[in-house]
Amino acid sequence: SADAIDLLIYGPRKPVVDDGFAAPYVLHRCEQQADLDGLSDEVRGRIRGVAVTGLVPTSGAVLSRFPRLEIVSSFGVGYDHVDAAWAAQNDVVVTNTPDVLTEEVADTALGLLIATLREFIRADKYVRAGLWASQPYPLSVGSLRDRKVGIVGMGRIGQAIARRLDASLVPVVYHSRKPAEGVAYQHYPDLIAMAKEVDTLVVIIPGGAATNKLINAEVLQALGPRGVLINVARGSVVDETALIAALKSGTILAAGLDVFADEPNVPEELRTLGNVVLLPHIGSASVVTRNAMDQLVVDNLKAWFDGKPPLTPIAETPVRER
């Protein structure tokens, strides 16, 4: 009908999104880029909103297929897979799903840090293998007790991680390009200088060109032989080849990784190392938190098509009076 609002659901199936819209909304679905070719010109011409439901590459070339596009509602707090510069230039609003996942991802970061230091996964395997009866599990070299953590990125999630470390009586400093507002921890504008002063890095900074391979061989060298790297941000932020070399040579002690350069592919070399804990990008992946993120994808679109400002626009496409 004439007042229909056509939306494209782009990416993996999400029941909360699929079931979140009634008339006048009309939903079209493409799980991956190749499926876009299946949309008729007529349908492409009607689509006014796109929900990006996972980490599907959403370039300007993809978005420019929709001449009436007004809004891209992206799942996840990170949006390096969406061409925000194209959106800003073409007067398309982009929203993400911040806040609702902050505490969940911070929980994951702290859990991964402790699991890495205290070797929880190896210890679990030890029990399952029936080895406990023959001798006690060896003492872990790693501990949270004698550490100083440098957080790379002090946004909402970084601050939630810092709060958990405060409660655990672990000293915290941080690196970011600019000091974070209202944060008392010591700020290092220079990452290498910070890496020399700490023994633990927790990476929680946006992905994309500006942070590509920020954690490189030089940073790992500066971190030193007690060094532990935790990454719950994007795989692109770490030079994975340099990390593998550093883990093998003892340049650093260990790493806990929730994200990888080429997900879901994890290099064989990394998978065979004993001093790493590897998670399949599950930082926010609980039912309760993913439902809240899915709902925010829906609510941003509904607010927009109700004539209201979007709830959580990204910085590149700020809230506009409507």
Q: Which residues bind ligand 8YV (CB under 6 A)?
A: 54-55, 75-78, 101, 281, 283-284
Closer to ligand 8YV at the Cβ: 231 or 284? 284
- Residue number with the smallest Cβ distance to ligand 8YV: 76
Are 44 and 69 spatial neighbours (Cβ–Cβ below 8 Å)?
no
Nearest approach, Cβ of residue 76 and ligand 8YV (Å): 2
Residues 6+ apart with CB under 8 A from 120: 114, 277
Neighbours of 114 (CB within 10 A): 18
| Residue number with CB closer to ligand 8YV (159 or 251) | 159
Q: Is 94 helix (H, G, I), strand (E, B) or coil?
A: strand
Sign of CA dihedral 205, 208, 210, 216: positive
Q: Identify which of residues 117 and 259 has a Cβ nearer to ligand 8YV in the complex.
A: 259
263 carries an active-site annotation: yes
Least spacing, CB of residue 20 vs ligand 8YV, in Å: 17
- In angstroms, give the least distance from the CB of 310 to ligand 8YV: 17
C-alpha distance across the termini of the chain, in Å: 24
Local structure of residue 250 (DSSP, 8 states): T
Q: Helix, strand, coil % (nearest 5) of the chain?
A: 35, 20, 45
- Residue 171's closest CA among 204, 146, 196? 146
> Using CA atoms, how far apart are residues 186 and 150, in angstroms rounded to an integer?
10
**Measured from the CB atom, is 156 or 281 closer to ligand 8YV?**
281
Of 13, 68, 263, 322, the catalytic one is: 263
At its nearest, how many Å lie between ligand 8YV and the CB of residue 221?
28
**All residues at 6 or more sequence positions from 250 whose CB lies less than 8 Å from its CB, including other chains:** 225
Q: Which is catalytic among the residues 48, 234, 240, 290?
A: 234
Cross-strand pairs, 200: 149, 228
- Catalytic (active site) residue 175: no
Among residues 179 and 208, whose Cβ is nearest to ligand 8YV?
A: 208
Active-site residue list: 234, 263, 281
